[in-house]
Chain A
Amino acid sequence: MSKTSFKTFGLGFAAVTLLASAPAFAAEGGGHHIDRQTWAFGGLTGQYDKAQLQRGFQIYKDVCSACHGMKRVYFRNLVQPGGPEFPEASVKELAAQWPNQITDGPNDAGEMFDRPAKLSDPMLGPYKNDKAARAAQGGALPPDLSNIAKARNVHNSAFWPKHVWLMAKDIATGYQEGGADYLYALLTGYQEPPAGVKLADGMNYNVAFPGHQIAMAPPLSKEGFQTYADGSGSLEKNAADVAAYLTWASDPSLNSRKSTGWVVLLYLLVTTVLLWLGKKRIWANAH
């Protein structure tokens, strides 16, 4: 293989890889720079921190679930490997006491009825439907949180040469924690509005939120944070824990995906090298 064709190959490949990452360019309106946090589940070999997921679930249960449901997460998921892995008995009890009951039926009398949740039921929010939610929340809809960490991302709005560089760096480091970074920034991003900014009725100022005006009142604050069983707690820790929990909820197979992934990559790397050595021998007298 000549030098020129190697160059062609390299440039061509770099070129399409860069093109491939163009969606990362798409800047969301009113984007704000979002700091990246260090996550246990980040990178090539990252795995969820079980204790963090358990703490995050506690925040969800005690704070978020007042308005937000998680209809795609079932109580059984809290027991399964790769998640918070609570003991089954305590999750059964949790489900039975979950305030938002399951509408089941019709029964023998033809009536629908509410019953306590079981392991096989989803974690519902307090509202029966979106209209009920809007009516109770002054017109705003608290989104279901099952997929929220995958449905949000951070946006790179640097000038294009820097953009290309950041994109290459993200691909090389396997950066995929944009959702968690955004949620952390949102939960810690409540501030007094800067002078001259008029908030619409019922809105709050948040630096991370696109447009900066968010209907959700600060769920956590520097003073109003949740305390864990060991007595510790802070706004930052609460925010990180719940962001980790929500990441798990949207991506419950991450542990298995990443633990399989590095083995697959290692296998492919070794096989590629072996095949290349074999190819060299086959071609030894053809060059």
Chain B
Amino acid sequence: MAHESHYKPTSRFGKWMDERLPVARLVHGSFVDFPTPRNLNYLWTFGGILSFCLAAQILTGLVLAMHYQPSGAEAFNSVEHIRRDVNYGYMIRNFHAVGASMFFIAVYIHIFRGLYYGSYKAPREVLWILGVLIFLVMMATAFMGYALPWGQMSFWGVTVITNLFSSINELIPGLGTAIVQWLWGGYSVSGTTLNRFFSLHYLLPFVIAGLVILHIWALHVAGQNNPAGLDIRTKADAVPMFPHAIAKDAVGLFAFLLVFAWFAFVMPDYLGHADNYIEADPLVTPPHIVPEWYFLPFYAILRAIPSKLGGVIAMFSAIAILVFVPWLDTSRVRSSKYRPIYKWFFWLFAFTCLALGYLGAMPAEGVYVFWARVFTFYYFAHFLLVMPIVGLIETPHRLPRSIAESVLGPSRGGGITPATAAAAPEKR
């Protein structure tokens, strides 16, 4: 990758391999002597945590797929079989179900960290966009995975979400219905739909894995962002990835596993919905159909818009807009630490997302709809108004001259170039 590896093969076999397929050199350069900014905080351990989450989901999913029956008649029974009869089946299943939630907790922290510290800014735009793609595929994978137990919430969640595409009828009559029937493989949600969801649910994690490789590649070309938002300029700014960053990643991962294990062993059903322990019944609609918690903010946006098509467009735009963030933010200062005005808007945005999550779980009536509209407005205003305008009018705090100075203080910093140029808001 971008960084020159100092790998020196020691064994004869190592030298022989290095001239033919330098895998060891690649690994050494990417994960051993790769220079990492010395000021990274624990929020930067979530990249490693997310890699762990993906690997854990694939492994537990592999075992579950050995016992699961993807048919309308047998899906629910086979999950019960896994829970009740397969050796440690309950544990594997809890790891997988809770693991999906943990994956999203980690990815949301990771995304908000990127937003706070401006990790999307040049030269990391492609890295950021790859991240948005991973997020999108993750959501598709999780949605299809939630369908597989074929409980009431699985069935009705699939019904509600796939039916969204029928709103395309408002644009081209008939096209929406055709798409929905094509997705279902019939005229209603059925075992056929479940079958294809299972097939795709098995495929998509490997698509994510491919995107993750590109994401890490792009990261290692551009180098890591850091809490100061400065580039590595001198040796004093960086520490080698091994052992420094790896040691910190390990602490972060195990602290995260504590939370993971708390949910998986003590309260495995807390993050799910009780109705999903009732077998899917097309004739009985649950009183409240709610998606999994990680979709709730988007669900709130969907329901906030009075028109069905408008709601669908708003919901997908809420994710698509993330792609344009590198160009919507006009400030040249990466880290919000040095942005006295934008910092407050960042926290307002974080609150907005939480509020939308709360409102997504509430019935779409009365005062909830009003607030869902207010927060939906701010969700988009944050990207389309706040990011461009604040970047132009704000005077950022003075930046440290180097990463080393931000850690050690001005006397021992030893930066080379003054960073005042980067501190000035971009002139347009």
Residues in A lying within 8 Å of B, measured CB to CB: 1-2, 4-6, 8-9, 11-13, 15-29, 43-44, 72, 77, 146-147, 150-153, 160, 163, 170-171, 174-176, 178-179, 210, 250, 252-253, 257-258, 260-262, 264-265, 268-269, 271-272, 275-276, 278-279, 282-283, 286-287
Contact = CB atoms under 8 A, between A and B. Distances in A.
Contacts of B83: 253
Contact of A4 (B337, B360, B408): B337
10 contacts: A6-B41, A9-B42, A12-B109, A15-B354, A20-B293, A22-B360, A77-B84, A170-B270, A176-B270, A272-B251
Interface stretch (B6-14, B128-136, B271-279, B311-319): B271-279
Contacts of A16: 105, 108-109
A119 B366 CA distance: 54
Given A19-B108, A19-B293, A44 B287 contact: no
Contact of A12 (B251, B297, B337, B350): B350
B41 A286 contact: no
Contacts of B268: 176, 257
A178 B273 CA distance: 12
B265 interface: yes
B204 interface: no
Contacts of B271: 20-21, 23
Given A19-B293, A210-B287, A268-B261, A26 B273 contact: yes
Given A29-B287, A152-B274, A174-B262, A22 B41 contact: no
Given A15-B354, A151-B274, A9 B296 contact: no
Given A147-B80, A176-B266, A257-B94, 20 more contacts: A1-B42, A2-B41, A17-B105, A19-B294, A19-B357, A20-B105, A22-B358, A23-B271, A175-B267, A176-B269, A250-B277, A253-B83, A261-B264, A262-B265, A268-B254, A269-B258, A272-B255, A272-B258, A279-B248, A282-B244
A287 B403 CA distance: 11
B41 A1 contact: yes
B407 interface: yes
B274 A179 contact: yes
Nearest to B41: A5
B357 to A, nearest CB: 4
Nearest to B289: A26
B266 A44 contact: yes
Given A9-B43, A21-B293, A275-B254, A283 B270 contact: no
B124 to A, nearest CB: 19
Nearest to A163: B358
In order of increasing CB-CB distance, the 8 nearest A-B pairs are A261-B265, A5-B41, A151-B277, A174-B266, A153-B274, A272-B254, A25-B361, A279-B247
Contacts of B227: 2, 4-5
Interface string B247-263: 11011001101110110
B90 interface: yes
A257 B95 CA distance: 12
Main secondary structure of the interface of A (DSSP, over half): helix
Interface in B339-370: 347, 350, 353-354, 357-358, 360-363
A12 B244 contact: no
A25 B362 CA distance: 7
Given A12-B112, A12-B113, A170-B270, A260 B254 contact: no
Given A12-B43, A175-B267, A286-B38, A72 B84 contact: yes
Nearest to B248: A279
Interface in B279-297: 287-288, 290, 292-294, 296-297
B166 interface: no
A285 to B, nearest CB: 10
Contacts of A22: 293, 296, 357-358, 360-361
A8 B116 contact: yes
A176 B293 contact: no
Given A20-B105, A26-B290, A176-B270, A257 B43 contact: no
Given A9-B43, A257-B265, A28 B288 contact: yes
Nearest to B347: A11
Contacts of A175: 267, 270
A28 B287 contact: yes
B91 interface: yes
B55 to A, nearest CB: 18
A269 B244 CA distance: 21
A286 B35 CA distance: 13
Contact of B277 (A5, A43, A147, A160): A147
B179 interface: no
Contacts of B26: none
B108 A150 contact: no
Interface string B231-255: 0000000010001100110110011
A147 B247 contact: no
B101 interface: yes
Contact of B84 (A11, A179, A252): A252
A1 B274 CA distance: 41
A271 B267 contact: no
A17 to B, nearest CB: 7
Given A23-B290, A44-B266, A276 B274 contact: no
Contacts of A260: 91, 265
Contacts of B265: 257-258, 260-262, 264-265
B357 A283 contact: no
A24 B362 CA distance: 10
A43 B267 CA distance: 9
A221 B271 CA distance: 35
B273 A265 contact: no
A230 B91 CA distance: 38
Contacts of A77: 84
Contacts of A26: 273, 288, 290, 361-362
A279 B250 contact: yes
Given A28-B287, A151-B277, A250-B277, A278 B247 contact: yes
A25 B274 CA distance: 13
